Amino acid sequence: MGHMNYSHFTLGVEEEYMVIDPHSRELKSHEQKIVLEGQKILKDKVKAEMHQAVVEVGTDICRNIEEAFNDVAALRGTIANIAGDLGLWVGASGTHPFSHWENQLITDHVRYNQIVNELQEAARSNLIFGLHVHVGMEDRRMAIHIANTARYFLPHVYALSTNSPFWEGRKTGYKSFRTKVFDKFPRTGIPDFFESIEAYENYVNLLIKTNCIDNAKKIWWDIRVHPFFNTVEFRICDVPMTINETIAIAALFQGICAKIYKLRTQNLNFMMYQRSLINENKWRASRYGIDGTLIDFGKESEADTKTLIMELLDFVDDVADDLGSRSALNYVSNIFSHGTGADRQLSVFDKNQNLVEVVDYIHDQFLALSV
């Protein structure tokens, strides 16, 4: 086989950061100052979120994983500097270890006011921090095929990202409690299989026509064909604590897309599994992270999550060099040896049972290149 051209598999990475008061270590409203200052330097790459203690950043469209790394590192560095100048900290964790959502201010914006008005406490309590990875597609037909197929691998990658073991001062027993919080929203989780892009668009249009949603951005699934761009958007992951973890995960999502595309161009299809089965694996990933087992549905048996992630790395191995993502994918072995963000948060907590130390650790890791 000759080399295939994967240049249309561009990357966009969006991360949500928490804004922290360095004295109390609580979440703190930055009164949009970080966003206003950030926009002077980064333009529309920095945005407000529904809660005022959240800052969202997004990279440019990156041609490859190296560009994505540089962009994410620059965004984190810039936001950390701006926050520091304002006397604030930033950190990346799927949930804050002990802050309570009841005390957090909502950003005054038409869209957020609408969402809070409709979803009420589910929206106000949705104080969580995620990672979204967009992968460019040559067209929407290929995008729906890739989204349908990639659903199977979502729990495997999600397990690597798990970074929210605490909620409101409690050890939840989950490696990722973030999705448990988000589950209160409608139109979340693993989507159904769509037999065509038309079937997907008919679904969206029906929801708009019947006033379920005003536009397709209110479909908050773990993966979606983006309503307005030619991308598949992966939304399942907690925001990872470090830059390298984010980049490893982005590389994995890009690799999955390129490999499914390669199979499709050779008239090969990967098995499609129903949402209810994939959900069993998502639940396990949320509860146990990389330390548990997932179900190998092909073999109809359980296997160690790490073993199945290694198999996933093997699955994408033949596209890694063409994508230029081998070293980013190799970082997964570091996650295995040091643990996910959740594992590391828990080990800091286990030393002195002190959640302030966990926040300090999250803050310290924000710009760290090695764990």
- CA distances to 109, 205, 314, 319 from 329, rounded to whole Å, are 39, 38, 11, 11
pLDDT tens profile 306-334: 999 999 999 999 999 999 999 999 999 99
Mean pLDDT of the chain: 96
Angle at 342 between CA 339 and CA 344, to 5 degrees: 55
The pLDDT value recorded for residue 308 is: 98
Residue with tokens 């994967």: 6
HSE of 204 in the Cβ direction (CA atoms, 13 Å)?
21
Q: Are strands 11-20 and 54-58 parallel, antiparallel or unpaired?
A: antiparallel
Report the alpha-carbon distance of residue 169 to residue 167 in Å, rounded.
6
Q: Where are the domains of the chain?
A: 11-365
Query: What values do phi and psi take at 47, rounded to 5?
Result: -140, 155
Report the alpha-carbon distance of residue 58 to residue 2 in Å, rounded.
34
The pLDDT value recorded for residue 122 is: 82
The pLDDT value recorded for residue 322 is: 97
The pLDDT value recorded for residue 111 is: 87
Report the alpha-carbon distance of residue 220 to residue 233 in Å, rounded.
10
Residues 6+ apart with CB under 8 A from 361: 344, 345, 348
Rounded to an integer, what is the distance from CA 35 to the centroid of its chain? 21
pLDDT tens profile 152-204: 999 999 999 999 999 999 999 999 999 999 999 999 999 999 999 999 999 99
pLDDT tens profile 92-119: 999 999 999 988 999 989 888 998 898 9
Report the alpha-carbon distance of residue 255 to residue 232 in Å, rounded.
13
Under-50 pLDDT residues of the chain: none
Sign of CA dihedral 184, 19, 328, 141: positive
In this structure, are residues 89 and 82 in contact, taking their beta carbons and an 8 Å threshold? no
The pLDDT value recorded for residue 2 is: 57
| b/e 130-154 (16+ beta carbons within 10 angstroms → b) | bbbbbbbbeebebbbbbbbbbbbbb
Burial of 369 (0-12, 13-18, 19+ CB in 10 A): exposed
Architecture of domain 11-365 in this structure: 2-Layer Sandwich (3.30)
Report the alpha-carbon distance of residue 150 to residue 269 in Å, rounded.
11
- CA distances to 110, 164, 185, 241, 267 from 117, rounded to whole Å, are 10, 27, 13, 32, 48
Report the alpha-carbon distance of residue 45 to residue 35 in Å, rounded.
10
Angle at 23 between CA 22 and CA 24, to 5 degrees: 105
Tell me the β-bridge partners of 232: 135, 225
The pLDDT value recorded for residue 353 is: 98
Tell me the β-bridge partners of 11: 62, 135
